[in-house]
Amino acid sequence: MWVNILVCLLTHLIAGMSVSFDQSFSCYADSGNFTTNTTYAKNLDFILHSLPNNVSEHGGFFTVTVGQGSNKAYALGLCRGDLTSYVCHSCVKFAADDLRARCPNQKETVSWSSDPPCILHYANRHFFKMLELNPTTFVHNNRDITSNLPQFDTVWESLMDSVVTKASNGSSTLKYATGKANFTASKTIYALTQCNPKLANNDCDSCLRELVSFYKVCCHQKQGARIQNPNCWLGWDLHGFYVPNPATTAPSLSPPLAPGTPLTITKEDKEDTQEVQLLDLVLGSVPHENSSGDFNLENVGRSLDFPSIQLDILQAATNNFCDENKLGQGGFGLVYKGTLPNGKEIAVKRLSITSDQGLLEFKNEAWKLWSKGEGMELIDEHLVESSVPAEVLKCIQIGLLCVQVDPANRPTMTTVVSMLGSDSITLPIPAEPTFYGGHFAAKPIQPNS
């Protein structure tokens, strides 16, 4: 899990993103309260305990009911359409724990917490197919569009119309779409929309267009934001923040051109920068189950500890680990570049056949680099020159703090945002991660200077 958190933090820091939150959850006061150890409380606890597995094992969406009459509990979990089962499970688990802490006695709550986000909604009533537009919340970064705002607005509206139409015409298991468009010769808007797939197509369209209309209220002129309600969300940014997939990409458009401004809107098959591809790889992102081609989640290990891909797929992707595909060599073996059947480029580290070290040691290599004061070795060489070492190491340290053995020692997301935005906060020294093989007792690990 720490890798996903670390990459998100590092990506946002490199992008210079400071964020403003409206609200990432809602406790429904008018739905009534429950007390501990009642039948409804036990039904709800049972649902929330099993929901992360159920959502992640069913393509990122699951609904469930437990109980009878007034004690019946309903829950819905929805992960963003490009998330792996591993990341999806982590997101739903975090949302469930967070909601129970924030809304300990409310019978109905909804959460859009975590990044990448997921929706978790539970209640004492049936709501799965109901179009509900409130509450509406948002989160945006604090960087503004400082030039070409009219052109940005024009392209933004055309792009949103395209991705809303694509998502709302989705299936009963996935209503999700992405797209991108250039609003200047060098700047691109990336957009994503998604609905609760149980909504009728016209209700999904209405839900998303309601969020589009909220743009001028909350987030006009912002370089990036996410707007959401209990049934849908949309987001955009000036850097790629999702895994592109031709099956869920909105078609190219021809919006009006501002005088003298070149404009192209392209269908995205894959990101064209190695940095983004490598970040996607570290994030553990793979195409959704509805992706086209032979590569699907049946070929990907569903271990919540570490995602994996079958050997025959990697052999085909790397041309049987040929020398022409070799990128370099690390302490545990050679690193190869490869291309999956869907066109996504990956990097693969192949453990040396002469090494008796395994997956546990491979994962622990990162933590050893940190404790030896060699944290910059974790960063891809293509990013090193453009990175500020102090900021990179700060992100790594925050990532380590987010996976402490004792949850009480982990910072809240509010604290994480404060840590990222301040140079005066002294960060605690992280302890060894839960999967560290030496022992179970957590002890601080101070990087060598």
**Pairing assessment for the beta strands 225-229 and 188-195 based on DSSP bridges:** unpaired
**Pairing assessment for the beta strands 109-111 and 19-21 based on DSSP bridges:** unpaired
CA pair distance 176, 196, nearest whole angstrom = 9
CA 166 to chain CA centroid, nearest Å: 21
Determine the 3-state secondary structure of 242 from DSSP: coil
Which residues have a Cβ under 8 Å from the Cβ of 36 and sit 6 or more positions away?
none
Q: Give the position of tokens 């987001």.
A: 235
CA pair distance 378, 204, nearest whole angstrom = 42
Which has the closest alpha carbon to 211: 190, 235, 239? 235
Helices and strands in the chain, H and E counts: 12, 16
- 121 phi and psi angles, rounded to 5 deg: -135, 125
Q: Give the position of tokens 């503004």.
A: 144
Residue type, 309: I
**Sign of the CA dihedral 397, 403, 408, 411?**
positive
Q: Is 198 annotated as contributing to ligand binding?
A: no
CA pair distance 53, 60, nearest whole angstrom = 10
CA pair distance 415, 371, nearest whole angstrom = 23
Q: Where are the alpha helices (DSSP H) in 325-371?
A: 359-371
Residue type, 449: S
The neighbouring-strand residues paired with 329 are 334
Cα–Cα distance list, 428 to 140, 389, 402, 404 (Å): 28, 18, 11, 11
Residue 447, preceding peptide bond in cis (omega within 30° of 0): no
**Encoded tokens for 71:** 């004690």
Taking phi over 0 as left and psi of -120 to 50 as alpha, with beta for the rest, 151 belongs to alpha
Which residues have a Cβ under 8 Å from the Cβ of 422 and sit 6 or more positions away?
none
What is the per-residue DSSP string for 93-111?
HHHHHHHHHHSSSBS-EEE
Residues making up the annotated binding site for ATP are 349
Residues making up the annotated binding site are 349
